[in-house]
C-alpha cells in the first residue's frame, strides 16, 4: 500500500470523491455540492493506494495559523479493520507536522469515536516513550 498526497481535480481526486460518496454520504442520503468540492482546492488531500486503486482517503483542512482538521476519512467497506485507517492517520499527522501545523483537530461520528480515541492514545504512548 502506498500513502500519498494527491492534487485537486486529478483522476485520483475523482476516485477520492467517489469513495467518500460511497462510504460517507450515500448511506446518509447525502451528496456533495460543487461549492463544497471547489473549496477543497485549499485542502491537503491524502489517498492510500494499491497500484492505481484508491483504498482509503482523508483530508486536512486549515482551521487556523497552526491548526488543521482531519476530516472525510473513509476506507473501502471490505478493507476496514485491517490497519489502513490507522496508517493513514499516522501519515496525515506526519504531513501536518512537516507543514508546520501544531494542532490536529478531529471530529468523529459515533461509530468512529473508538477508532479516533485508539489512535490518540497510541500516539500519546509513543511520544511518552521518546
Task: Give all strands (DSSP E) within 51-88, no chain letters.
Answer: 53-62, 67-75
Closest CA to 66 of 107, 43, 97, 106: 97
Q: Which residue of 48, 55, 60, 85 would you call a contact of ligand COA, by CB under 6 A?
A: 85
Binding of ligand COA by 25 (CB under 6 A): no
Instruction: Tell me the torsion sign for CA atoms 84, 90, 92, 98.
Output: negative
Nearer to ligand COA, 25 or 62 (CB): 25
Site string for ligand COA, 91-130 (x = CB under 6 A): -----------------xx-xx-xx--x------------
Site string for ligand COA, 42-71 (x = CB under 6 A): ------------------------------
Gap between the Cα atoms of 41 and 38, Å rounded: 6
Q: Which residue of 50, 83, 97, 103 would you call a contact of ligand COA, by CB under 6 A?
A: 83
Closest CA to 34 of 57, 58, 9, 56: 9
Q: Closest distance between ligand COA and the C-beta of residue 64, in Å?
A: 20
φ, ψ of residue 125 in degrees (nearest 5): -65, -40
- Residues forming the site for ligand COA (CB under 6 A): 23-24, 73-75, 80-86, 108-109, 111-112, 114-115, 118
Amino acid at each position: 500500500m502506498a500513502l500519498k498526497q494527491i492534487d485537486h481535480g486529478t483522476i485520483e481526486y475523482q476516485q477520492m470523491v467517489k469513495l467518500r460518496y460511497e462510504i460517507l454520504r450515500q448511506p446518509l442520503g447525502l451528496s456533495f455540492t460543487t461549492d463544497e468540492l471547489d473549496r477543497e482546492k485549499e485542502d491537503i488531500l491524502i489517498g492510500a493506494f494499491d497500484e492505481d486503486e484508491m483504498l482509503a482517503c482523508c483530508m486536512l483542512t486549515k482551521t487556523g495559523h497552526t491548526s488543521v482538521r482531519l476530516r472525510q476519512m473513509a476506507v473501502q467497506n471490505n478493507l476496514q479493520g485491517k490497519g489502513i485507517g490507522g496508517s493513514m492517520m499516522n501519515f496525515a499527522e506526519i504531513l501536518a507536522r512537516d507543514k508546520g501545523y501544531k494542532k490536529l483537530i478531529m471530529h468523529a461520528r459515533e461509530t468512529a469515536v473508538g477508532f479516533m480515541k485508539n489512535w490518540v492514545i497510541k500516539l500519546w504512548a509513543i511520544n511518552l516513550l521518546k
